[in-house]
């Protein structure tokens, strides 16, 4: 049985935040790692997406935070800007009752001079991507000489993306006294090597994936090389009717082709691949995570670090390389005690991939004949939300409460009509229920947000 957070020696203000956030009991990774983190030990932990690892290292970091000390206490490295922003957002929520705790995101997509100016004020925790963090360190804009905790999140993804040299160079700036925490979804040899370099007598933690597997219904469909997988894909969507799903593809062209196929059938789908500019990535991910898109079609590289709450299905248009990567993909669904769906297409030459998966999981894969899938209905999942664009952001000192207040006061929306809010440096996105979109646009366009007028429209 999972223990409650009250069993740990946590700051009462952190426990208050956990209560407000309805974090009742610890997940297996939190229960296994937090006592070691709180005691100051280095750790190397294997934990899948959705296991609660962010809260594990964030709680340890916040609990040891000295708010009176004007120095960066914690540095968290993430593989992508999207994950860095998610980690920073969750850490801010957990720190909501710690007075004046400042968490700063340092990633590409924002001019370095803006971040350098932000670093001149009192910052407690920096969260960022290796490239940008290293540049700021080398320029002297980021000072971690008094750092207490150094954290690598999704370390395997960072190494896959070619950040090994950057991580090692960043580590040269980390004080020897600092505690180091390494979290990775998989545990290949290069992670072991990295751990040996940056960790001091680490506690090794590995969470059993069996509990995650039991919440995911996964099925494999054997396809012929000449078979139209898109039609099979549509059959799966029509049969199971997931409200949202991520479809993984191997190439950028394939993501575009699958997205065109789906949108041609009036399905609200978005494409995520390496050809997108950062603002386009932000918009697509925001729409999908806030319920304005039903389907996200992505490559592995583009989706690294992506963490979507309440994801109902994962579909592998192509099999991933390695059993660990397969578990990492499907682990995005079936979270928080809910049941998830996972479907995979493979051909005869990929039988060995299923054998690898069976060996890792200790159970046989469920294989079904694709010809047996019925086609009796259409896939008609209409997203409940739409995303509005607002021409102001952090530079204008906009906060989520300002946008919520304007939607309620100027557009007469109710709090339950308003969804996720994503504030970027120079623009913002807010999700509202589809039925109230026009009223929200008219109200915000005619009125003011924080005493100032902004352009507002559909993203």
| Distance, CA of 219 to CA of 373 (rounded, Å) | 12
SS3 424: coil
What does the alpha-carbon distance between residue 216 and residue 214 come to, in Å, rounded to a whole number? Answer: 6
Q: Which residues contact 234 (CB under 8 A, 6 or more apart)?
A: 261, 262, 265, 375, 379
Is-same-fold flag (210-372; 385-458)? Answer: no
pLDDT confidence of residue 159: 87
Q: What is the CA radius of gyration of the chain?
A: 22
- The number of residues making up the chain comes to 459
Evaluate whether 312 touches 188 at the Cβ level (below 8 Å): no
What is the dotted CATH code of the domain comprising 5-206? Answer: 3.40.50.300
Q: Does domain 210-372 have CATH number 3.40.50.300?
A: yes
Q: How far is CA 129 from CA 114, 298, 418, in A?
A: 16, 20, 31
* pLDDT score recorded for residue 214: 58
Query: CA-CA distance, 279 to 187, in Å (whole number)?
Result: 32
> What pLDDT does residue 227 have?
83
Retrieve residue 436's tokens.
Answer: 């109230």
Domain ranges of the chain: 5-206, 210-372, 385-458
Are 22 and 16 in contact by the 8 Å Cβ rule? The answer is: no
Q: Given phi > 0 = left and psi -120 to 50 = alpha, else beta, which region is 393?
A: beta
Name, in order, each residue with C-beta under 8 angstroms of 355's C-beta and a sequence gap of 6 or more: none
**Residue 183's Cα: distance from chain center in Å?**
14
Taking residue 201's Cβ as centre, other Cβ atoms within 10 Å add up to 6
What is the residue-level pLDDT of the chain in tens, covering all 459 positions? 468 898 898 999 999 999 888 888 898 899 999 999 999 999 999 877 667 889 999 999 999 999 888 899 999 999 888 889 889 989 999 999 998 899 999 998 788 998 999 898 889 999 999 999 999 999 999 999 999 999 999 898 888 888 999 999 999 999 999 999 999 887 778 888 899 989 999 999 987 555 555 588 899 999 987 788 999 999 999 999 999 999 999 899 999 999 999 999 999 999 998 788 878 888 998 999 899 999 999 987 666 666 677 899 999 999 988 887 888 788 888 876 678 999 999 998 999 999 998 887 888 999 998 888 888 789 988 999 999 999 999 889 898 889 999 999 999 999 899 998 988 889 999 999 999 999 999 999 999 999 999 999 998
Instruction: Please state the CATH superfamily assignment of the domain spanning residues 385-458 in this structure.
Output: RRM (RNA recognition motif) domain (3.30.70.330)
Instruction: Determine the straight-line distance between the first and last CA of the chain, rounded to whole angstroms.
Output: 44
Those residues with Cβ within 8 angstroms of residue 109's Cβ, 6 or more apart along the chain or in another chain: 81, 278, 279, 282
The side-by-side arrangement of strands in the sheet containing 340-346 is 269-272, 295-299, 245-249, 313-316, 340-346, 216-222, 367-369
**Token match 């090597």: residue?**
193
Structure tokens that stand for 206 in this block: 């590995």
Question: Which of these, 252, 374, 337, lies nearest to 301 by C-alpha position?
Answer: 252
């Amino acid at each position: 049985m999972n223990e409650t957070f009250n069993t740990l020696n946590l700051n009462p203000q952190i426990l208050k935040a956990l209560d407000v956030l309805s974090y009742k009991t610890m997940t297996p990774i939190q229960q296994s790692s937090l006592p070691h983190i709180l005691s100051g030990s280095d750790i190397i932990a294997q934990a899948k997406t959705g296991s609660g690892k962010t809260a594990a290292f964030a709680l340890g970091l916040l609990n040891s935070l000295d708010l009176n000390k004007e120095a960066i206490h914690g540095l968290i490295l993430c593989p992508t800007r999207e994950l860095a922003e998610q980690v920073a957002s969750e850490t801010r929520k957990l720190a909501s009752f710690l007075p004046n705790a400042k968490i700063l995101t340092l990633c590409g997509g924002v001019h370095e001079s803006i971040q350098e100016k932000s670093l001149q004020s009192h910052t407690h925790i920096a969260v960022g991507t290796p490239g940008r963090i290293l540049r700021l360190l080398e320029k002297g804009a980021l000072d971690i000489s008094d750092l207490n905790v150094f954290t690598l999140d999704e370390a395997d993804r960072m190494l896959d993306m070619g950040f090994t040299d950057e991580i090692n160079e960043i580590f040269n700036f980390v004080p020897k006294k600092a505690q180091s925490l390494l979290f990775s979804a998989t545990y290949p040899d290069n992670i072991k090597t990295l751990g040996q370099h940056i960790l001091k007598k680490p506690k090794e933690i590995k969470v059993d994936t069996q509990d995650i597997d039991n919440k995911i219904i996964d099925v494999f469909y054997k396809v012929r090389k000449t078979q139209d997988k898109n039609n099979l894909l549509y059959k799966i969507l029509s049969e199971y009717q997931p409200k949202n799903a991520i479809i993984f593809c191997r190439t950028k062209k394939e993501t575009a082709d699958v997205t065109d196929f789906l949108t041609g059938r009036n399905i609200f789908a978005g494409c995520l691949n390496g050809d997108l500019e950062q603002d386009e990535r932000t918009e697509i991910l925001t729409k999908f995570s806030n319920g304005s898109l039903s389907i996200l079609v992505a490559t592995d590289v583009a989706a690294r670090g992506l963490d979507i709450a309440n994801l109902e299905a994962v579909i592998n248009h192509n099999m991933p390389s390695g059993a660990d990567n397969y578990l990492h993909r499907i682990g995005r669904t079936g979270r928080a005690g809910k049941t998830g769906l996972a479907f995979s297409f493979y051909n005869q030459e990929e039988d060995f991939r299923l054998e690898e998966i069976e060996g890792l999981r200790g159970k046989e894969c469920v294989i079904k004949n694709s010809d047996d899938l019925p086609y009796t209905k259409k896939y008609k999942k209409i997203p409940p939300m739409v995303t509005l664009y607002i021409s102001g952001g952090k530079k204008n000192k906009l906060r989520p409460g300002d946008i919520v207040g304007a939607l309620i006061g100027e557009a007469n929306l109710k709090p339950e009509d308003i969804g996720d809010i994503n504030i970027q440096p120079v623009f913002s996105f807010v999700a509202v229920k589809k039925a109230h979109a026009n009223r929200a646009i008219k109200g915000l366009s005619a009125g003011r947000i924080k005493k100032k007028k902004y352009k507002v429209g559909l993203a």
